[in-house]
Amino acid sequence: MSTSILLDRLSMTLCVIQGKSVSGGCTIRASFACFLLLILSGCPSTASEQQCNPQTQSGCANSGQACALDTTGAPTCLPPIGQISEGGRCTGVEPGVDPTTLDGAELCAPGLGCIRYLGIARCLRFCDPGRIDSDDACTQTTVNPEHQHALSGFSSCSITITDRPEIGACALPCRFADNVDSACPSNTRCAVPFGGRTAICVAAGQRGIGDSCGAGCDCVENAQCVPDLSGFVCRRKVNASGQCQADEFTQNLFGTSDPLSDDGLATYSVCTACRTLGYRGLSYCPDQARCLSQNGQLASFSASDASRLTDFLFEQSAQIGPVLVGAYRSDDGQWRWSQNETLIDNQLWADGLPVDGVACVGLSADGFLRGLEDCQHAVLCDQSYRPSCDAGE
């Protein structure tokens, strides 16, 4: 084979690698340049990947075009007719579709890409996840003010495109405690995703307050899925004033960080009807109704648990008084644990078995059980029997 034919074939091959048309010809010099580029840095494998750079908005033949992504994550040049602003819902560009034929109302505004993350496709800015100052780059808004999101300056480069780790997107935070003005699109909610630190807009779930939750069964709009001793559970988010109801406890979500707080470091918080004791999946509730609303039941325990439980219980409560437990008098006159119907150990009673007229049983600060006629007390709640949403129960 002659040298000229070999160079011609090499020229055609390298021009295809570059994504250029070979019909107009390709010089040996251009082919050699691409050959060197192939050796030094590697020519991208497809024409669409070579077309443009979304982070720098460069590489489009027409200076008026914008660089975005198709649904496979490949960069593509689009006409500057997009109307969807940063953070808005979008459908994305399909591979093989001529961008010039698309309706501007379906496209993101220039400088934005339709990025699907956690099941929601939104128009977001691009960033380079490999840069040390990638988060700083996201806080520097580069979109036309007309299409800029209200919280654009608080975004972070925390999204990477599937199968394209070199391309990132600026994730927008949202107002965690404000369900009316969370800055999320319709049919979404503001929550901290599993493994995340910052609240972003995610798909709304169906699990109510006190229900089990998980990656496949998330919470309703005003709730956050948080870890619990018996799994994950939906807790009510604090309100816009950072407050819970008078009969609820505040639980900070450690490991989270709210960039919209005064110092940008405050953690998010949720409200819970019962406070976890950190022992055997038990919790302290102001009353029995609150325990039941959290899918719990009055708890039982053994003699070896009594002293430890009283240390936890009366440290949590503002009162030094009895806390109701799950005991009942059976037909044979014996007192049993309602959970498993076993007899209550005699050594747990302070003054022997309760006499007639006793309606319920409470655990006192001294670690002993006593019969009570008035059952309007706080309760020791066991939530370890909460159904698992992952099991479809």
Report whether pLDDT(135) > 70.
yes
Distance CA 393, CA 382 (A): 19
Q: Tokens in use for 62? A: 């027409």
Is 235 buried (19+), middle (13-18) or exposed (0-12) by CB count in 10 A?
Answer: buried
Each residue's pLDDT tens digit, 195-229: 889 999 998 899 988 888 987 889 998 999 998 87
Query: Which of helix, strand or coil describes residue 365?
Result: coil
Please give the Cα distance from 254 to 285 (Å, whole number).
Answer: 22
Digit-coded pLDDT (tens) for 239-285: 888 888 888 889 999 999 999 998 888 999 999 988 888 788 788 99
In this predicted structure, the answer to whether residue 296 has a pLDDT above a threshold of 50 is: yes
pLDDT at 317: 66
CB 74 within 8 A of CB 68: no
Contact 377, 362 (CB under 8 A): yes
pLDDT for position 256: 94
Residue with tokens 């209550």: 344
Rounded distance between C-alpha atoms, residue 156 and residue 294, angstroms: 35
* Alpha carbon distance 133, 105 (integer Å): 33
Mean of the per-residue pLDDT values of the chain: 80
Phi, psi of 113 (to 5 degrees): -130, 150
| Per-residue pLDDT at 28 exceeds 50 | no
Q: Amino acid letter at 62?
A: N
Q: Helix (H, G, I), strand (E, B), or coil: what is residue 261?
A: coil
What DSSP state is assigned to residue 318? Answer: S
Angstrom distance (rounded) from CA 348 to CA 368: 5
Helix (H) or strand (E) holding 380: strand 379-382
Both tokens of 333, joined, read 């006159």
